[in-house]
Amino acid sequence: MAKDFLLGPVLSFRGLGENDTWKVTALIGIKPGAPEPLLQVEGRDCPAPTQLLATRKARYLRYDLSCQQQKAERRVGYGVAGGPVWHFTVPGKHLAPRMAYVSCNGFSDPTVMRSHVSQANAVWEDLLYSHDKLVRIRNPGPGDKLLDKEQLWHEVRIHDKGLQRFHLLLMGGDQIYFDSIWHQLDELKKWIGLSRDQQLNFSVSKVLDEKIAAYYFDLYAERWLPPGRRPWGSEPNRDAADAMARIPTVMMWDDHDIFDGWGSYTPEMQRSPLFQRLFHHARRAFWVFQMQQVLDDLPALTDSTPTGFSQQDPLYAAISWKQRLAGDPLALPLLDGQPGYTWAFRAGPLAMLVADLRTERSRTQVFGSSTWSRLKEWLNGLEDKGEFHHPGTRCQHLLLMSSVPVVHPKLTLAETALDGFGQDHVLDSSADDLKDHWSHDDHEGERTRLLEVLFDTARSKKVRVTLLSGDVHVAARGGAFRRDQPASEGWGLIPQFTASAVVHPSLKGWLEQLFLATLNKCARTPQQAGPQYQVEMMLFPGHNQYVMPARNWLALELEEAHDAKLWATWRCEGEKMFSNHLHTVPPVR
């Protein structure tokens, strides 16, 4: 049965439930009319699946694989009755999960994708070698990779105990690239050649709307379980599909999950009929495939922009997610009363805030007012009893997933040059890439507001705040500082770790190398974020530059001790081998 899967299994972490329940679901796609697979977890039959979506080509089902946390971590088996078996590892009660972070799982240029197909999964393979002993080649030969000292260290403490290294796979944006839609739909190829006025007034026919909807729904199966890969039950492929079947994911979208630059075009273009229909269908597909929610449970966004302000930031009516998803015990813990998908959870001494930077994004806005209010409410209640409280543990570390770096070199000259050039060209990402950055002039004020909220949380809750980001196709380290608070006292420093990309090529061409030199030069200059904060890049560990131009992934592991350190380990791809780059973050004392 599993050999006939059209998609999946894709594991999704749903937060903690009552009685120490580690809530996990699996998404599986099957052909219409095919019998529903019987899935088993820990030797027992799973409940009947929930249908998330049915199309002419496929049915997408969500299975409940939730397990009870025990005192010690343990490996859990699940699979198709009489078919292949996969495993994931559940952390012990009151302990923080070990996590891997990735971003940019694809290619913005389809021609680049075809030319790199043989090496596309090299970074995924390295992650899986570090994660699960069972996916390695059982009989090493002359061409097989050997484990280095960093990997061997985890061999004794994790793999030799029959466990897997990571409990969660954090995917911080661009899990799939929809830029190819501009090349593969004839109507959109013609749209690119129209004048700007014609583009803004382009009417989306019913036929084209159906094509767009089908493209967004169908591409997930094509990219997440590619045709031609070895079927389940045979030798592991060591690709993204293998990783998502073995590690419960925590996903949040970025622009390429919609199309390149969404939210950073001019207000007129963002509100054009074509852009709105593209976003409508991307939003629905994201809800089903990345958030694993029933399509019928997704309400439409309601534009609540006051009359006369149609060219300003979009204002959407808040959604009562708690009421909307009340009948779904496996619903993600979305922050209630926001139009977007920001969600959060606690797991032992760790708290995580997964921020949606796309639903409400515009040229001058990242979050709308209701999202800011809900975000602050959740942070204020971080140690309170309630939905996100984990009794018996004190929250020591708060991780904020920001798909776009909060700390990144500021390219002032490039911003000035590109602000009036190419700003609505969907095939030229230079201008919108800069507009996306928190450091851009248009977003600097909101970045200061974000830092104010996070530093206040760090101070009042005595918790270390750390930022995780991707998007920029380099590995990097930075930090934000409160000027009137010595960093040595703890809460006056917010570090940031950037890991990007797991598939997309890094900066290798000669033009990209020139850009890289500029990036490193600009990184030397600290940025002022309002009167109280300073933001600056730091030399990348084990590297004499500020950014590391290599595909990479990041491991995040909290020591099992009182006042434990958070260990961050980048694995960066080289020509012949991967290199390790370690950094530690102490808790607030």
Q: Which tens digits make up the pLDDT trace of 467-492?
A: 999 999 999 999 999 888 766 557 89
Identify the band that residue 239 occupies on the pLDDT scale cut at 50, 70 and 90: very high
More confident residue, 412 or 217: 217
Paired sense of beta strands 59-64 and 21-30, if any: antiparallel
The CA distance from 502 to 275, in Å, is 28
Identify the band that residue 554 occupies on the pLDDT scale cut at 50, 70 and 90: very high
Residue 412: pLDDT above 70?
Answer: no
Residue 432: pLDDT above 60?
Answer: no
Residue 342: pLDDT above 70?
Answer: yes
Identify the band that residue 385 occupies on the pLDDT scale cut at 50, 70 and 90: very low
User: Lowest mean pLDDT: which of 37-41, 521-525, 580-584?
Assistant: 521-525
Task: Provide the pLDDT for residue 154.
Answer: 86
Task: Provide the pLDDT for residue 117.
Answer: 46
Residue 294: pLDDT above 60?
Answer: yes
The answer to whether residues 255 and 262 touch, using CB atoms and an 8 Å cutoff, is yes
Task: Provide the pLDDT for residue 23.
Answer: 98
Residue 268: helix, strand or coil by DSSP? helix
Q: Which two tokens stand for residue 187?
A: 């109507």
Residue 418: pLDDT above 60?
Answer: no
Task: Provide the pLDDT for residue 388.
Answer: 43
Q: Which two tokens stand for residue 11?
A: 């594991």
* Average confidence (pLDDT) over 281-290: 98
The answer to whether residues 242 and 88 touch, using CB atoms and an 8 Å cutoff, is no
Average pLDDT, the chain: 89
* Average confidence (pLDDT) over 373-398: 77
User: Lowest mean pLDDT: which of 74-88, 298-312, 359-373, 572-586?
Assistant: 298-312
* Residue among 289, 294, 180, 293 nearest 241 (CA): 289
The per-residue DSSP string of 277-300 comes to: HHHHHHHHHHHHHTS---GGG-PP
* Average confidence (pLDDT) over 278-295: 98
β-partners of residue 469 are: 498
Residue 53: pLDDT above 80?
Answer: yes
* Average confidence (pLDDT) over 536-547: 95
List b or e across 435-461, with b for residues whose CB sees 16 or more CB atoms inside 10 angstroms.
bbbbbbebbbeebbebbebbbebbbeb
List b or e across 241-263, with b for residues whose CB sees 16 or more CB atoms inside 10 angstroms.
bbbbbbbbbbbbbbbbbbbbbbb
* Average confidence (pLDDT) over 565-582: 94
What's the predicted TM-score (pTM) here? 0.95
User: Lowest mean pLDDT: which of 126-140, 213-227, 500-514?
Assistant: 126-140
Q: How far apart are the first and last CA of the chain?
A: 53
Residue 3: pLDDT above 90?
Answer: no
More confident residue, 373 or 588: 373
The CA distance from 487 to 467, in Å, is 16
More confident residue, 133 or 512: 133
User: Lowest mean pLDDT: which of 35-49, 120-134, 374-388, 423-437?
Assistant: 423-437
Count the alpha carbons within 13 Å of 303 in the hemisphere toward its beta carbon: 12
* Average confidence (pLDDT) over 170-188: 96
The CA distance from 171 to 253, in Å, is 8
Identify the band that residue 1 occupies on the pLDDT scale cut at 50, 70 and 90: confident
Q: pLDDT tens-digit profile of 10-33?
A: 999 999 999 999 999 999 999 999
Q: Which two tokens stand for residue 198?
A: 């014609």
Tell me the one-letter amino acid at 206: K
Residue 147: pLDDT above 90?
Answer: no
